[in-house]
Amino acid sequence: MKVRAIRGATQLVADDPVEMESAVVELLTEIFAANQLEREDLISIQFTATQDLVSDFPAKAARSLDLGLIPLICSTEIDVPGALPRVIRVMIHAYSSRRHEEISHIYRRGAEVLRRDLAQ
C-alpha cells in the first residue's frame, strides 16, 4: 500500500452550520466510497474554507463520521478576487493500493468548476 492524496471540494449555498455538516459529510462519504477507503486507511484530512465560511469548522462535521481518532485540521483558503465563494476543499492522505490515475477526486455542489480536469 502506498500513501495517496485525494482531493475534493464542495460549495455551500449559505454559511450555515447545518448545511456545512451536510455538505462535508456528503463529500467525504462519496470520496471514501469512490476510493474504497476504510477508516483504518486514513492518515489525515486537511480542510480549507473560503473566508466567507465562519459558522463552524468543517472538521467538526467530519467527526460525525466516527473520524475522531484521525488527525483533522482546518485552515483558510487564499482570498483571491473573483474566486468561487463558500467553498470547502479537502485533501485526504490515505493508504491505498490504487495508482495515481485510479484515484477519484470528487467535486460537488458547484465546485466542479474548480478542477474540471479532476472532477469525477
Exposure pattern of 43-68 as b/e (b: 16+ CB <10 Å)?
eebbbbbbeebeebbbbebbeeeebe
| Banded model confidence at residue 112, pLDDT cuts 50, 70, 90 | confident
Q: Are strands 42-49 and 72-76 parallel, antiparallel or unpaired?
A: parallel
> Domain 2-114 is in which class?
alpha beta
Q: Is the dihedral of CA 68, 57, 64, 30 positive or negative?
A: negative
49-88 pLDDT per residue, tens: 999 999 999 999 999 998 889 999 999 999 888 889 999 9
pLDDT at 119 exceeding the cut of 60: no
User: Contact, 52 vs 15, CB < 8 A?
Assistant: yes
The Cβ of residue 85 has, within 10 Å, a number of other Cβ atoms equal to 13
18-36 pLDDT per residue, tens: 999 999 999 999 999 999 9
- Which three cell numbers mark 102? 485510479
